[in-house]
Amino acid sequence: MDWSKAKTILIVAFLVTNILLVAVLLSSQRQVETTTKEGFIEDVTKLLNNKNIFIDTEMPKEIPSLNILTVEYEMLDSYEANRKYFNGKGKIESKDKGTTGIIYNDEYILITNKKILSYENKKQENKYKNLNNELAKTIAIKFLEERNYDTSDMLLSYIKNEGDTYYLEFSKIYKDKYLEKANTTMEIDSRGVRKLDRIWLKVLNEGETPIYISTAPKAILSLLGKEEVYGKTIKDISLCYYFGPMEQKYVKEPNDPRKGNTFPAWRVLFDDGYKIIIDNY
CA atoms 128, 134, 137, 138: torsion sign: negative
| 78 and 91 Cβ atoms separated by less than 8 Å | no
Shared-domain flag, residues 117 and 174: yes
What is residue 201's predicted lDDT score, i.e. its pLDDT?
96
Shared-domain flag, residues 41 and 111: no
- Overall pTM surpassing 0.75 (yes/no): yes
| 234 and 174 Cβ atoms separated by less than 8 Å | no
The contacts of residue 159 (CB under 8 Å, 6+ apart) are 133, 136, 137, 166, 167, 168, 169
Query: Distance between CA atoms of 183 and 167, rounded to whole angstroms?
Result: 13
Q: Is residue 23 part of a domain?
A: no
What is residue 252's predicted lDDT score, i.e. its pLDDT?
54
Q: Is residue 9 part of a domain?
A: no
What CATH code is carried by the domain that includes residue 124?
Answer: 3.30.310.160
Query: Distance between CA atoms of 184 and 200, rounded to whole angstroms?
Result: 8
Could you tell me the CA-to-CA distances from 214 to 35, 105, 277 in Å, in that order? Answer: 9, 51, 13
Domain limit, last residue, from 167, 199, 231: 199
Shared-domain flag, residues 148 and 232: no
Shared-domain flag, residues 61 and 87: no
Number of C-beta neighbours around residue 278 at 10 A? 21
Shared-domain flag, residues 191 and 88: yes
What does the pLDDT look like over 162-184, one tens digit per residue? 988 999 999 999 999 999 999 99
What is residue 175's predicted lDDT score, i.e. its pLDDT?
94
What is residue 2's predicted lDDT score, i.e. its pLDDT?
56
What is residue 165's predicted lDDT score, i.e. its pLDDT?
94
Q: Write out residues in the chain with pLDDT < 50, as ranges.
A: 3, 6-7, 9-32, 250
Shared-domain flag, residues 243 and 143: no
Shared-domain flag, residues 164 and 250: no
What CATH code is carried by the domain that includes residue 235?
Answer: 2.40.128.690
The mean predicted confidence, pLDDT, of the chain is 86
Element (H, E) at 59: none
Q: Is residue 5 part of a domain?
A: no
Number of structural domains (the chain) is: 2
Shared-domain flag, residues 232 and 162: no
Shared-domain flag, residues 187 and 85: yes
What is residue 280's predicted lDDT score, i.e. its pLDDT?
73
Domain that holds residue 90: 75-199
